[in-house]
Amino acid sequence: MAKPSFLVIGAAKCGTTSLCSLLSRHPDVFVHPEKELNFFCFDDLYDRGFAWYASLFEGTADRTAVGEGSPNYTKRTKHPHSAERIAKHLPEARLLYIVRHPLRRMESAWLHARRAGHRSYASLSKTVRRFPTYVDASDYGRQLDAYREFFPEEQIRVLFLDDLERAPAAILEETFRFLGVDPGAPLDRPELALNVSDGTRIDGPLLHELKRIPALRRLDKRAPRAWRRFRKRHLQTQVAGRPDWDEDTRRWLIDRLAEPTARFLTACGRPAGTWDLTA
């Protein structure tokens, strides 16, 4: 039975799409082309059985490393069984976890939600307080603790988005070595840029509410070019720079994340103050 030898488990909005794309360019690596299979975290998918999941990787016997990327695997509060399920079916799997500044991750997640019509508010601060997943997914140490209950440290590799953006060749070489493939193999399309979303436009209040209706959201995706131009001009809002935090929410986040973030960075061999949460 075909099955993955590695998983990109998150974190969401930390470059997982870029990482999977870069890994897939190695001749001995297969990354499933469908982003976020979510088998181990969504109950309805898990109930289909591991044989169904393994069938998604048929025809990959010629690859040394086979994997997929699902950032929902590290949303512990929302999906508490992911780590245990992965350990049950893939106990030998290598786990890749890519992270970034915790507040920058939340900002990117909020912008994505606003663009996609997902649950959110016009205010970033209100959204973060209302939906626990925003903070939970940025508590990187807590997410990894769930996996450390089942996997030895040598099967887990933490990557930093800043490092991948600054020195992709060096980071990929280390990662390929971790996955057991030739770190010096020539890559397909090595010049392709990282997938970094600028998030400069978000849906306005009316469009955001309309997209919460599934049928209208599907229709919007198939709309003609004239509608897309109208939507961009009249129903979307330009975001200049990063979205704003209110100071009460920023202090609330610092109180919740400062200590666990410092512990996480120290455990990764980084200075505890690598990320300034007040910035």
* Residues 161-204 pLDDT 10s: 999 999 999 999 999 999 999 999 988 775 555 554 444 555 65
Question: Domain tally for the chain?
Answer: 2
> Are 163 and 231 part of one and the same domain?
no
**Whether 119 and 175 share a structural domain:** yes
Write out pLDDT tens, residues 93-122. Answer: 999 999 999 999 999 999 988 877 777 788
83 prior amide bond cis, ω within 30: no
Stated length of the chain: 279
C-alpha separations of 30 from 8, 62, 79, 181 in Å = 12, 9, 26, 11
Higher pLDDT, 223 or 99: 99
Distance CA(62)–CA(204), nearest Å, equals 48
Q: Does one domain contain both 59 and 112?
A: yes
Maximum C-alpha span of the chain: 54
On whether the CB atoms of residues 9 and 42 are closer than 8 A, the answer is no
Confidence of residue 227 (pLDDT cuts 50, 70, 90): low
* Predicted structure pTM score: 0.84
User: Given pLDDT bands bounded at 50, 70 and 90, which one contains residue 208?
Assistant: low
175, 69 contact by CB (below 8 A): no
How many percent of the chain have pLDDT more than 90? 71
Within-domain flag for 1:
no
In this prediction, residue 159 has a pLDDT band, given cuts at 50, 70 and 90, of very high
Q: Is residue 272 in some structural domain?
A: no
Range of the domain at 79: 6-197+243-267
State whether 16 and 84 are in the same domain: yes
Dist CA 141 CA 182 (whole Å)? 30
278: in domain: no
Specify the pLDDT at position 198. Answer: 45
Q: What is the pLDDT of residue 230?
A: 67
267 Cα distance to chain centroid? 21
Q: Pick the more confident residue, 210 or 47.
A: 47
pLDDT per position as a tens digit, 8-65: 999 999 999 999 999 999 999 999 999 899 999 999 999 999 999 999 999 999 999 9
Collect all residues with Cβ–Cβ distance below 8 Å to 137 and sequence separation of at least 6.
10, 11, 12, 71, 74, 75, 105, 109, 143
For 67-126, the three-class secondary structure string (H helix, E strand, C coil) is EEECHHHHCCCCCCCHHHHHHHHCCCCEEEEEECCHHHHHHHHHHHHHHHCCCCCCCHHH
* Phi and psi, residue 134, nearest 5°: -60, -50
Q: What is the pLDDT of residue 231?
A: 57
Q: What is the pLDDT of residue 236?
A: 56
Claim to verify: residue 124 and residue 148 sit in the same structural domain: yes
- Residues 136, 98 share a domain: yes
Mean pLDDT of the chain: 88
Identify whether residues 155 and 228 lie together within a single domain: no
Edge-first strand order for the sheet with 94-99 is 29-31, 65-69, 6-10, 94-99, 156-160
Per-residue model confidence (pLDDT) at position 234? 53
CATH value at residue 63? 3.40.50.300
Same domain, 28 and 48: yes
> Is residue 184 domain-shared with residue 224, that is, in the same domain?
no
Return the bridge partners of 88, or none.
none
Domain identity same for 110 and 219: no
**Together in a domain, 42 and 160:** yes
